[in-house]
Amino acid sequence: MGKGQRAINAYKSTEYIEQPRDKDGLLIGRKSADPFKLVPESSSLLLQQKEQAGTVAAAAPVAAKAPESSARESGGEDAAHELAAVPTFILVTTYLSFLMLIVFAHMRDFFGKMFHPEEYTQLRVQNGYAPIVSDFESLWVRRLYGRIRDCFNRPITGVAGGRVSLLERYSMDFNRSFQFTGRLNNVLNLASYNYLGFAQSEGPCADKVEEAMREGGITQGSTRSEVGCTRLLADTEDMVARFVGAEAAIIVSMGYATNALNIPTLASKGSLIISDELNHSSLVAGARLSGAAIHVFRHNNVRDLEKVLRRSIAQGQPRTHRPWKKILVIVEGLYSMEGEFCNLPEIIELRRRYKFHLFVDEAHSIGALGKRGRGICDHFGVDPREVDVLMGTFTKSFGATGGYIAGSRALIDHLRVNSLSAVYAEAMSVPVLAQVSSSMRMIMGEDREHALEGQQRLDQLALNSRYFAQGLKNLGFMTLGNPGSPVVPLLLFNPAKIPAFSRECLRRNVAVVVVSYPATPIITGRVRFCISASHTREDLDYALEQISEIGDLLMLKFHKGDVSAGANSKAIEYAAKMD
């Protein structure tokens, strides 16, 4: 038996335990890591479950308690530690590969322009008009991205749930164009942000959406501040405020625009924005649009944030050295490329000391972290009122679209009148609001007919995330992120391994997202797995098996791993704790 096979068996044989269920599929007990020990489900829970018969999440085969959050489960240190262990050979070959790709791309363009000038007209001045795309951007797209374009923009059909249907396609001209074969590939989906599995076209939320659409149609044909504010919008805003623990909330019809169009309402010339270096593009866009000065601190590094704060406060505004009108520190709750939680408790300590306003983007953490799914504050047990601006989106955990900002009533009243998104953008569509409110009610346990389902999804997500990340670690892969993060990045390094990994996964019917420079630092190209409550243990085992084989093929197992029996011991310990 090869090393890979032993590794696969190691986590499979000891970790996957079929849970006993009654004929309705409800849990009647939970087998622990010891296969002979059956832990009876508490009778009251069983009773409650029985009362809710038929309402258990179809996609949630195991019920378990949410993890205890540990404020000291640091992802940042892990990441630094992981990278320090990268063999020099890998570092050198990765840089050399990029260098060679760029040098060859320039050479091909140089000779191409000389011998086939007609193919480069878009890069030359024509009739006095400047070229619309810059030379380097075009080179990057044609010579690097173009070569691996088949790994991106894969057209899908149907619901992006635990599985997804891809439209099979091929290219006869090195990815310049694609033709469809007419066949569908039903693949395991580790690529979509569908943390709680609410991306569904049937079930209680879909029913509510259909009902709402028949009543209210698709569009209000107006902005929120004119005649676009429906009753459902106002009610959902109140529910969001309650959910996150704030006084009030405002909903915006697009997550990206929630940041890009509201940050300019919070900061302006004379203000200072201090931003984590890995903040999402929507935060960067909003900060730039605001006209405020922008200082950047090292990713998730509270010491560096303090240094930047002290220096900025001491120096004041440029030239005049007047004090800043206000300072806004912007961080994310869960960094989606790193799978890392922000160090919220320490940032809040700083906030008390330096009196800045704190903006936390919870796009990925809301609904996905914390015992009650209330995000990063819930995870750390922090009072949400310690955060001035709580932003989040409905695209990830709620199976919907759009975003929100929550905070004090004064803040939200200010945004209702002044925010570009409230004054100029279309109000949130009624069916989308129905999806948000029905899924949120379920998470809060306020939907009587499905009282347990939300919590089950939260528990399942927490369990799946830990199981999968631990499985990868045991196999010897280098991963980033905090335990319990539904985003699990696995480092691939060399540029050639990035498309190879994606294509091998697709060949084995697994859809993944690979990410490389410039979206990540040049050295840390990666595949980013998104785990969902709708994944079953069989799904995750299948994925781990396939990834293990690909890891052997592409030489991605940088650690020794743990192939002994009981290799997935941390996940087992965790599952046992849940029992």
Binding of ligand PLP at residue 479 (CB under 6 A)?
A: no
Shortest Cβ 366–ligand PLP spacing (Å): 10
Q: Which CB sits closer to ligand PLP, 255 or 399?
A: 255
Binding of ligand PLP at residue 259 (CB under 6 A)?
A: yes
Two tokens, residue 262: 């509201």
Distance in angstroms (rounded) separating the CA atoms of residues 551 and 299: 28
Cis peptide bond upstream of 518, omega within 30 = yes
Binding of ligand PLP at residue 254 (CB under 6 A)?
A: yes
Query: Which residue in the set 142, 143, 280, 535 belongs to the binding site for ligand PLP (CB under 6 A)?
Result: 280
Query: Which residue in the set 200, 236, 312, 336 belongs to the binding site for ligand PLP (CB under 6 A)?
Result: 336
Exposure string (b/e) for 105-121, b if CB count within 10 Å is 16 or more?
beeebeeeeeeeeeebe
Is the separation of the CB atoms in 170 and 179 below 8 Å? yes
HSE-up (13 A, CA, CB side) for residue 538? 6
Shortest Cβ 436–ligand PLP spacing (Å): 12
Q: Which CB sits closer to ligand PLP, 11 or 256?
A: 256
Is the separation of the CB atoms in 345 and 71 below 8 Å? yes
Two tokens, residue 376: 């990063």
Shortest Cβ 465–ligand PLP spacing (Å): 17
Amino acid identity, position 238: D
Size of the site for ligand PLP (CB under 6 A): 14
Binding of ligand PLP at residue 393 (CB under 6 A)?
A: yes
Q: Which CB sits closer to ligand PLP, 11 or 394?
A: 394
Which letter does DSSP use for residue 65 in this model? P
Q: Which CB sits closer to ligand PLP, 373 or 403?
A: 403
Binding of ligand PLP at residue 562 (CB under 6 A)?
A: no
Shortest Cβ 402–ligand PLP spacing (Å): 7
Report the DSSP beta bridge partners of residue 488.
529
Q: Binding segment for ligand PLP among 26-34, 139-147, 206-214, 254-262 (CB under 6 A)?
A: 254-262
The sheet with strand 487-491 has its strands ordered as 487-491, 526-530, 513-515
Q: Angle 171-177-183 (CA atoms, 0-180°, nearest 5)?
A: 55
Binding of ligand PLP at residue 435 (CB under 6 A)?
A: no
Binding of ligand PLP at residue 470 (CB under 6 A)?
A: no
Name the 3-class secondary structure at 361: strand
Beta strands at 357-361 and 340-341: parallel, antiparallel or unpaired: unpaired
Binding of ligand PLP at residue 255 (CB under 6 A)?
A: yes
Name the 3-class secondary structure at 448: helix
Token look-up 């945004």 returns 415
Binding of ligand PLP at residue 256 (CB under 6 A)?
A: yes
Shortest Cβ 392–ligand PLP spacing (Å): 8
Q: Binding segment for ligand PLP among 51-59, 181-189, 360-368, 374-382 (CB under 6 A)?
A: 360-368
Binding of ligand PLP at residue 332 (CB under 6 A)?
A: yes
Q: Binding segment for ligand PLP among 82-90, 170-178, 253-261, 410-418 (CB under 6 A)?
A: 253-261
Amino acid identity, position 479: T
Q: Which CB sits closer to ligand PLP, 276 or 539?
A: 276
Binding of ligand PLP at residue 363 (CB under 6 A)?
A: yes
Cα dihedral sign for 448, 576, 398, 300?
A: positive
Name the 3-class secondary structure at 290: helix
Q: Which residues of this protein are in contact with ligand PLP, per CB under 6 A? A: 254-256, 259, 280, 282, 332, 336, 361, 363-364, 393, 395, 403
